[in-house]
């Protein structure tokens, strides 16, 4: 009886695998042009910039690095970052991709400050705009990250945030350069 159950399970499994292969004779899916636009972010980048003193933190200069690599299949990038601000160093991990169902780009970051941010973005020419909602400490806020590609290896960016229905205010701006 036990042998029959195992044999039946193997037959069902093989049938399922065979059906799946028969439905997709062209092989695995391929990234589309939207995914390929993410290639701009692949590589190692260094950043320098300024934060403005605000309710979200002190002002000052910062430096950072971010290394982004393709996930197998080239549908998404995985990025590791390190930022130095004053005497503190923060690290982060992010995944950047494209959501065909929503026709927008996605960006999820978690970092060593305990923050988790999910953004949805779009690209218009050389300008990428990402919008998100999050909480810093106990303060909910919404934000926008805008990056302008100045060349294949240089970009400028800014971060704007606001609480409630307040207008967005600039809290950070900087420049990033791809390392060769």
Distances (CA, A) of 133 to 3, 50, 54, 81, 168: 55, 22, 17, 21, 12
Q: Are 51 and 171 in contact (CB under 8 A)?
A: yes
Does the predicted TM-score (pTM) go above 0.75? yes
Q: What is the pLDDT of residues 108-120, one digit of tens each?
A: 999 998 888 999 9
Structural tokens at position 170: 């600039």
The per-residue pLDDT for 53 is: 87
Q: What is the pLDDT of residues 116-134, one digit of tens each?
A: 899 999 999 999 999 999 8
Q: 56: pLDDT confidence band, cut at 50, 70 and 90?
A: confident
The per-residue pLDDT for 54 is: 82
Which CATH fold topology does 33-178 show?
A: Lipocalin (2.40.128)
109: closest CA among 121, 127, 125, 126?
Answer: 121
């Amino acid at each position: 009886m036990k042998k029959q159950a195992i044999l039946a399970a193997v037959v069902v499994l093989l049938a399922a695998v065979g059906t799946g292969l028969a439905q997709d004779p062209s092989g695995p899916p391929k990234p589309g042009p939207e995914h390929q636009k993410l290639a701009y972010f692949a590589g190692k980048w260094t950043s320098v910039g300024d934060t403005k003193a605000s309710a979200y933190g002190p002002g000052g200069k910062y430096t950072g690095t971010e290394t982004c690599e393709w996930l197998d299949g080239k549908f998404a990038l995985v990025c590791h970052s390190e930022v130095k601000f004053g005497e503190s160093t923060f690290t982060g991990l992010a995944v950047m991709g494209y959501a065909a169902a929503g026709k927008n780009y996605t960006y999820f970051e978690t970092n060593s400050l305990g923050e988790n941010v999910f953004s949805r973005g779009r690209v218009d020419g050389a300008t990428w705009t990402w919008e998100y909602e999050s909480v810093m400490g106990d303060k909910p806020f919404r934000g926008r990250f805008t990056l302008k590609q100045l060349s294949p290896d240089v970009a400028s960016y800014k971060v704007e945030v606001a609480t409630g229905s307040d207008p967005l205010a600039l809290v950070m701006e900087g420049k990033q350069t791809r390392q060769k």
